[in-house]
C-alpha cells in the first residue's frame, strides 16, 4: 500500500501541473479516508510539495533559457552545447533568428582567454546573419521576415560626436562588443553561435533579399574590416595601386574590393602555394613572395596604399619602402608589436594608420556595395558541431577563406 502511494506521487510529478495538483488532492483525500497514520500523511504532503516545486522550477527554467548555443566554459576554449536567456525585446529592439554565423579569429582569442579578459560561459560569434522574428513597438526600419545582420558591436553611448556621425565603433565611451562584454543593463553579451539574438535596431543591418545569408555573415567583420579603411583613405578610386599583406579571411576580401574599385592589386604572402589561386581565382594582378628581397626591391615606391591583414609578427620597413610619396599603410591585423624606422615614415611623407571595423553607416554601405557588385566571400559552410575543429583549422590557416556555421539547420 505504502509503496503504491509513493509510486503514484513520483509518477504524478511527471504530469502537467494542473493534473498533478488534482491527483495529489485526490490521494490526500484517500489517505485521510482510509485513516492512515498522520505522520505518513504529513510525509507524503512534504514529498508532493517538494516534487511540485522542483518541477515548477524546471518548467520555469526551460521556458526562460530558450536560447540554444555552443559556449566555452573555461580557457581551454572547448565549445559544447549551452542554453541561456536573452533579454526581452524592448521597444527599440529587433529579435533575430540566426541562420548563419561566420567564424572569426577573434572567436578563438576570446574563447581561450588570450586577451585575459574573457567571461565564461562565453558564446562567441560576431558575424551574424538571420531573419527578423520580432520587432519592438518603436522599430520602423525592419519588419518580421526581413533579412538582417549583426556585427561586432551591439551598443554604444549614442550621444558622443562619433556615434552622432555614424562611427559607433569609435564611441567615446567605448562600444559594447557582441560577446563577452558588459552591456548597459549589466548583462554579459553573448554571440552568434546561438539560435537567436536581441539587439537594438541601430546595430542591425539590412541584407538584400537576393544576397545569400551564408555569404552575408563574413561581411559583418572580415568584409567591413578591410572596406572601411579603403574607403576612408579614398582607395575606391580606379587606377590606384593596392598592396594586400596576407591572404586569409580579411586579405581575400581586400582583393575582391580592390578589383571592384578598379585598382591594380598585388598580394604579398609568405606562401608560394597560394600564388595560383591568388591570380586565377581571386583575380589579383600580381603575387609577390614577401621573403624574396629581389621581388620586393623591384616594387619600391610603387604603391598608393597597402593594407596589412597579417596578425603574425613581421617586419614593417620593407613594406614602408614600397609606398609612394604620401602613401598609406593601414594596419588591420594584430601582431604582437609594430616596429619600423622613423626614416621609413618621415622620408616620403608616409602614413601608417590603424583601423578596426566600421561604423553603422559605412557597414550598411559595404553590404549594399557587395550586393550590387555581386561580391561574395569564399566560404566553407559547416554545422555547429564542427566548430571546435574549425577553430583548430583556423590556427593552421587551413580554410579558404572563411568558415560559416549553418546555425538554423544544425543547432537543435
pLDDT in tens, 233-280: 999 999 999 999 999 999 999 999 999 999 999 999 988 888 999 999
Question: Given this model, what pLDDT does residue 37 score?
Answer: 56
Q: Quick one: which of 59, 225, 40, 158 has its CA closest to 32?
A: 40
The yes-or-no verdict on residue 20 having pLDDT over 60 is no
The pLDDT confidence band at residue 282, using thresholds 50, 70 and 90, is very high
> Taking every pair of C-alpha atoms in the chain, what is the biggest distance, in angstroms?
103
User: Lowest mean pLDDT: which of 7-11, 220-224, 311-315?
Assistant: 7-11
The yes-or-no verdict on residue 53 having pLDDT over 70 is no
| Distance between CA atoms of residues 14 and 6, nearest Å | 14
| Distance between CA atoms of residues 217 and 381, nearest Å | 11
Question: Given this model, what pLDDT does residue 6 score?
Answer: 43
| Distance between CA atoms of residues 211 and 374, nearest Å | 8
Tens of pLDDT along 148-202?
999 999 999 999 999 999 999 999 999 999 999 998 788 899 999 999 999 999 9
Cell 541561456 -> residue:
84
Output 216 or 54, whichever has higher pLDDT. 216
| Distance between CA atoms of residues 216 and 228, nearest Å | 16
Phi and psi torsions of 265, nearest 5°: -110, 130
Question: Given this model, what pLDDT does residue 270 score?
Answer: 87
| Distance between CA atoms of residues 221 and 410, nearest Å | 22
| Residues 391-410, mean pLDDT to the nearest whole number | 94
The whole model's pTM is what? 0.83
The yes-or-no verdict on residue 209 having pLDDT over 90 is yes
Question: Given this model, what pLDDT does residue 103 score?
Answer: 97
First to last CA, the chain: 43
Contact call for residues 327 and 305 (beta carbons, < 8 A): yes
Percentage of the chain with pLDDT > 70?
A: 85
Please write down the long-range contacts of 15-19, taking CB distance under 8 Å and 24 or more positions apart.
17/52, 17/55, 17/56, 17/59
Q: What is the Cα 210 distance to its own chain's centre?
A: 22
Tens of pLDDT along 294-336?
999 999 999 999 999 998 889 999 999 999 999 999 999 988 8
Q: What is the helix (H) or strand (E) element at residue 353, kind and residue range?
A: strand 351-354
| Residue 48, preceding peptide bond in cis (omega within 30° of 0) | no
The yes-or-no verdict on residue 111 having pLDDT over 60 is yes
10: cell is 513520483
Cα→Cα distances 45→11, 15, 39, Å: 15, 17, 10
| Distance between CA atoms of residues 222 and 98, nearest Å | 18
Amino acid at each position: 500500500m505504502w509503496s503504491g502511494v509513493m509510486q503514484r506521487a513520483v509518477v504524478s510529478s511527471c504530469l502537467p501541473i494542473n493534473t498533478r495538483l488534482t491527483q495529489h488532492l485526490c490521494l490526500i483525500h484517500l489517505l485521510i479516508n482510509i485513516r492512515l497514520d498522520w505522520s505518513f500523511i504529513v510525509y507524503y504532503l512534504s514529498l508532493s510539495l517538494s516534487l511540485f516545486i522542483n518541477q515548477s522550477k524546471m518548467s520555469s527554467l526551460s521556458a526562460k533559457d530558450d536560447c540554444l548555443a555552443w559556449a566555452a566554459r573555461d580557457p581551454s576554449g572547448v565549445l559544447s552545447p549551452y542554453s541561456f536567456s536573452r533579454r526581452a525585446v524592448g521597444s527599440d529592439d529587433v529579435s533575430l533568428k540566426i541562420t548563419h554565423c561566420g567564424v572569426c579569429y577573434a572567436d578563438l582569442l576570446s574563447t581561450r582567454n588570450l586577451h585575459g579578459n574573457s567571461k565564461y560561459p562565453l558564446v562567441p560569434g560576431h558575424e551574424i546573419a538571420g531573419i527578423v522574428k520580432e520587432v519592438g513597438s518603436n522599430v520602423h526600419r525592419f519588419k518580421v521576415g526581413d533579412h538582417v545582420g549583426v556585427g561586432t558591436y551591439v551598443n554604444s553611448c549614442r550621444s558622443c560626436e562619433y556615434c552622432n556621425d555614424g562611427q559607433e565603433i569609435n564611441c567615446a565611451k567605448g562600444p559594447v562588443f557582441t560577446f563577452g562584454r558588459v552591456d548597459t543593463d549589466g548583462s554579459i553579451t553573448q554571440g552568434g553561435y546561438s539560435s537567436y539574438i536581441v539587439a537594438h535596431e541601430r546595430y542591425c543591418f539590412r541584407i538584400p533579399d537576393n544576397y545569400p545569408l551564408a555569404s552575408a555573415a563574413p561581411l559583418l567583420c572580415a568584409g567591413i574590416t578591410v572596406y572601411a579603411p579603403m574607403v576612408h583613405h579614398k582607395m575606391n578610386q580606379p587606377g590606384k595601386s593596392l598592396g594586400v599583406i596576407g591572404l586569409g579571411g580579411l586579405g581575400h576580401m581586400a582583393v575582391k574590393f580592390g578589383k571592384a574599385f578598379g585598382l591594380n592589386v598585388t598580394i604579398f604572402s609568405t606562401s608560394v602555394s597560394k600564388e595560383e589561386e591568388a591570380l586565377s581565382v581571386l583575380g589579383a594582378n600580381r603575387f609577390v613572395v614577401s621573403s624574396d628581397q629581389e621581388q620586393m626591391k623591384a616594387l619600391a615606391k610603387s604603391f598608393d596604399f597597402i593594407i596589412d591583414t597579417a596578425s603574425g609578427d613581421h617586419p614593417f620597413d620593407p613594406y614602408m619602402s614600397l609606398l609612394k610619396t604620401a602613401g598609406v599603410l593601414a594596419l588591420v591585423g594584430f601582431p604582437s608589436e609594430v616596429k619600423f624606422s622613423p626614416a621609413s615614415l618621415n622620408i616620403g611623407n608616409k602614413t601608417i594608420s590603424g583601423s578596426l571595423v566600421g561604423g553603422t553607416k559605412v557597414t550598411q554601405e559595404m553590404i549594399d556595395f557587395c550586393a550590387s557588385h555581386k561580391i561574395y566571400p569564399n566560404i566553407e559552410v559547416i554545422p555547429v558541431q564542427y566548430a571546435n575543429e574549425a577553430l583548430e583549422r583556423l590556427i593552421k590557416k587551413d580554410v579558404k577563406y572563411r568558415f560559416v556555421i549553418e546555425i538554423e539547420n544544425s543547432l537543435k
